[in-house]
Amino acid sequence: MPKCENWGDRNSLLFEVERNIMALDPFLKSILVCPKCKGDLIEETSPPGLVCESCQLVYPIREDIPIMLIEEAHAKGDHSSP
Ligand SMILES: [Zn+2]
């Protein structure tokens, strides 16, 4: 019985799952909306953040956790750190 092949598939599947967890959870991302206008957010990688195009606000991502607070957001293009 070629059980080894099945295990190989399973391991690669697990690897895929683990790798996806490293990135922002797609489900989490799909339910995240701008707290101000409830609009869609665009993920940015450098620096990590979620951008609302309508509000021109960037919500920061700290340690893989999106900070969905208007007070924590900064204007898009504003790179000055607090
Ligand atoms: Zn918005």
Predicted local distance difference test score (pLDDT) of residue 79: 59
Q: How far is the CA of 69 from the centre of ligand 1 (A)?
A: 11
The answer to whether 68 touches 59, Cβ cutoff 8 Å, is yes
**How far apart are the CA of 24 and the centre of ligand 1, in A?**
20
Q: CA 26, 28, 32: angle at the middle one, nearest 5?
A: 115
Query: What pLDDT does 75 receive?
Result: 94
List the CATH code of the domain at 24-82.
2.20.25.10
* Predicted pLDDT of residue 22: 52
What is the distance in A from the centroid of ligand 1 to the CA of 29? Answer: 15
The pLDDT value recorded for residue 28 is: 72
Report domain extents, the chain.
24-82
| pTM of the shown model | 0.63
**Cα 4 to ligand 1 centre (Å):** 50
pLDDT of residue 21: 46
CA atoms within 13 A on the CB side of 28: 14
32 Cα: distance to centroid of ligand 1 (angstroms): 11
For the chain of 82 residues, list the mean pLDDT of each consecutive stretch of 10.
56 56 67 92 89 95 90 82 52
